[in-house]
């Protein structure tokens, strides 16, 4: 049985496209905010149990066993997030840390019950897909960095990083809102967004964690 720490590593690999691509230890360390040496040690443990494949100079990728385990954890996490919002009136910036704890504690029966209660939802409160059977690919994959100045973009998915969600909540920017890409400052690596009469500045790094679809008609 995997520890919570090991499952967090698997989720990080999944989030960095480690289902199809090899993820470097450096990127994993940055994502988890830990030392690369700690990543190397953990990857060897996970490889021993056939959860990851390691390629020298390329990084790690989930095996089928690792993918099956990880998608189950992500499904639990995202269903719990949705349940906390729909039934217990949490806000979207509060649910991630609660779900991080509960995903390891509740039974499969509990997960099945809340899934049925909510009508088998497709996405979590942050727009991420809730994995089902062989459907694990995210629906929305175009980040704000990929749109052009003047584009109107509906926000459809946000990576559930707590500090980012706190910032977006303070700016009153949520899933479903339509923003205009009003300017790009490549020198300072900033993107200017217009939300109704409000201007929001966001770094290119954070913009890479927001995904949307272009609105064809204003």
pLDDT grade, residue 190 (50/70/90)?
very high
Nearest CA-CA partner of 142 in 182, 103, 183, 181: 181
Cα 52 from Cα 29, distance rounded (Å): 16
Per residue in 42-94, pLDDT tens?
999 999 999 999 999 899 999 999 999 999 999 999 999 999 999 999 998 89
Q: What is the pLDDT of residue 98?
A: 93
Mean pLDDT of the chain: 93
With 80 as the cut, is the pLDDT of residue 217 above it?
no
CATH topology of domain 144-214: SH3 type barrels. (2.30.30)
Backbone phi and psi for residue 95, each to the nearest 5 degrees, phi listed first: -80, -25
Domain coordinates in residue numbering, the chain: 4-62, 144-214
pLDDT, average across residues 195-202: 94
- Entry pTM: 0.85
Q: Which CATH architecture has domain 4-62?
A: Orthogonal Bundle (1.10)
Paired tokens of 107: 């039974």
């Amino acid at each position: 049985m995997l520890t919570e720490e090991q499952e967090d590593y698997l989720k990080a690999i999944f989030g960095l496209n480690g289902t199809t691509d090899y993820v470097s230890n450096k990127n994993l360390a940055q994502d988890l905010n830990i030392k690369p040496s700690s990543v190397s040690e953990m990857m060897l443990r996970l490889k021993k149990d056939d959860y990851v494949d390691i390629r020298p100079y390329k990084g790690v990728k989930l095996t089928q066993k690792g993918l099956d385990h990880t998608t189950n954890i992500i499904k639990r996490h995202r269903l719990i997030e949705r349940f906390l919002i729909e039934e217990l009136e949490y806000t979207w910036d509060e649910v991630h840390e609660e779900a991080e704890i509960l995903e390891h504690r509740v039974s499969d029966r509990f997960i099945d019950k809340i899934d049925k209660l909510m009508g088998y939802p497709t996405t979590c409160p942050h727009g991420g897909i809730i994995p089902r059977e062989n459907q694990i690919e995210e629906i929305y994959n175009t980040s704000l960095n990929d749109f052009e100045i003047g584009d109107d973009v509906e926000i459809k998915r946000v990576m559930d990083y707590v500090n980012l969600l706190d910032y977006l909540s303070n700016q009153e920017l949520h899933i479903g809102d339509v923003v205009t890409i009003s300017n790009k400052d490549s020198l300072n690596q900033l993107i200017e967004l217009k939300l109704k009469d409000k201007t929001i500045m966001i770094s290119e790094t954070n913009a890479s964690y927001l995904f949307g679809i272009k609105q064809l008609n204003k």
